[in-house]
Amino acid sequence: MAVSGKYGKISIPKVGADEPVFILRAQDKLAVSALEMYLALASSHDRPVAHSLLKEIEAFKKWPTKKMPD
């Protein structure tokens, strides 16, 4: 379980029961920019997550519906 301020308790493997999480959805017009900023930070710290972020960013870009976040 994890806790999202917007979505409540959600089940995510390897995440603590009360660990706060922040969720970006592909439909969010701001999400790709946020992921690209995170990619820049991860890359500047030579973190392995940077490689998988490229795939996620491409998947987000391909999502057909976009809207501003609530």
pTM for the model stands at: 0.84
- Residue 59: the pLDDT is 96
For the chain, residues with pLDDT lower than 50 are none
Chain centroid to Cα 32, Å, comes to 9
pLDDT at 49: 93
CB atoms within 10 A of CB 3: 15
- What does the pLDDT read at residue 56? 95
Quick check: helix, strand or coil at residue 31? helix
Contact 26, 60 (CB under 8 A): yes
**3 beta partners:** 9, 20
CA dihedral (41, 47, 49, 55) positive or negative: positive
